[in-house]
Amino acid sequence: MPDTGDGHDSGAPRSPARRRFFAAAMAAAMAAVPADALWLEPIWPQVTLHTVPLPGLPSSCDGLTLLQLSDFHLGPTVSEEEIARAVRLANRIQPDVVVLTGDYVHPPARAGALAAILGRLRSRLGVFAVPGNHDHWEGVAPILRALRGVGIREMTNTNVLLAPGLRLAGIDDIWCEKDDLARAHRGCRAGEALVLLSHSPLALPLAARAGVAALCLAGHTHGGQIRMPFVRPTWIPGLRGRPYVAGWYAEGRSRMYVNRGIGTIGLRLRFRCRPEIALFTLRSL
């Protein structure tokens, strides 16, 4: 290699010791990826904070906080302690409202164990839940019964007035064709602020087609669960080719946030995609 004239080596390290050092560093970095994905990220929830101007929100509700948890998947890949940890973090935040957006437990025989954990959630105005596709596939009735048994309010195709001028609605799972937005929206008044719960992110185009203005909160995707650098997940089951993966989306008069969820499915792996506890602070316009 020619001398550069400045006393610095312009190429790869020449000495065996330096080569061994760089090889060891590369091996350590490569080993850290599966270690992070397997042992660290699945049990390391992240609290994400969002300030949301909400049309129609009265000044009396300005600053109201709403906390979303999703996709627990208690079962082969997710322990009770992982979910209990998320509940403890949520309670430290002391939100006004807690919402749960589906996929709770595998199999339903463990619904009581999950409900006992989720029953510890505390909020000023209550805890509200909709089911997901896995709940229907596993057997939704005992799951919802267990949640109701600990005081969690089921919001399948219905709505409730949280406060004057602020309404919370929920729809059943879209992939399983159990949703009924018209029924969920029944009784909502023009000018009221609306938060719409759905396990499936397909709630956004559904609301847009119906002309509904809402803040939609969804889950289902796990944020892609394994996010390789520079590669965006392009296909997630049940989304009919739609690009919803994680974070914010907008269509028509509605906005939607897709939560990365707490648990995992298939493989107990998360990479560059930590479990999520999402906190929304609602603001009047």
Please write the tens of the pLDDT for every residue from 174-185: 999 999 999 999
**Does 20 fall in a domain?**
no
Q: What is the pLDDT, as a whole number, of residue 38? A: 47
For residues 71 and 138, give the distance between their C-alpha atoms in angstroms, rounded to a whole number: 14
Q: What is the pLDDT, as a whole number, of residue 225? A: 82
Q: What is the pLDDT, as a whole number, of residue 265? A: 85
- Domain residues for 229? 32-283
Segments in the chain below pLDDT 50: 1-13, 21-33, 35, 37-39
**Does 71 fall in a domain?**
yes
Question: In the chain, what are the helix, strand and coil shares in percent, each to the nearest 5?
Answer: 30, 25, 45
Which runs of consecutive H residues, i.e. helices, occur in the chain?
A: 16-35, 80-93, 111-118, 133-138, 140-149, 181-185, 203-210
Q: DSSP letter string over 136-181?
A: HHH-HHHHHHHHHHTTPEE-TTEEEEEETTEEEEE---TTTT---H
Q: What is the pLDDT, as a whole number, of residue 185? A: 96
pLDDT in tens, 94-112: 999 999 999 999 999 999 9
**Does 163 fall in a domain?**
yes
Query: For the domain that residue 135 is a member of, what is the CATH number?
Result: 3.60.21
Instruction: For residue 107, say if its preceding peptide bond is cis, omega within 30 degrees of 0.
Output: yes
**Does 180 fall in a domain?**
yes
**Does 46 fall in a domain?**
yes
Q: What is the pLDDT, as a whole number, of residue 7? A: 44
CB 242 within 8 A of CB 24: no
Which contacts (CB < 8 Å, 24+ apart) does range 243-246 have? 244/201, 244/202, 244/204, 244/218, 245/221, 246/221, 246/273
Task: Name the DSSP class of 122.
Answer: -
Q: What is the pLDDT, as a whole number, of residue 18? A: 53
**Does 5 fall in a domain?**
no
**Does 26 fall in a domain?**
no
pLDDT in tens, 35-68: 454 445 656 689 999 999 999 999 999 999 999 9
For residues 253 and 67, give the distance between their C-alpha atoms in angstroms, rounded to a whole number: 22
Report how many domains make up the chain: 1
Q: What is the pLDDT, as a whole number, of residue 33? A: 47
Q: DSSP letter string over 44-56?
A: --EEEEEEEE-TT
| pTM confidence score | 0.85
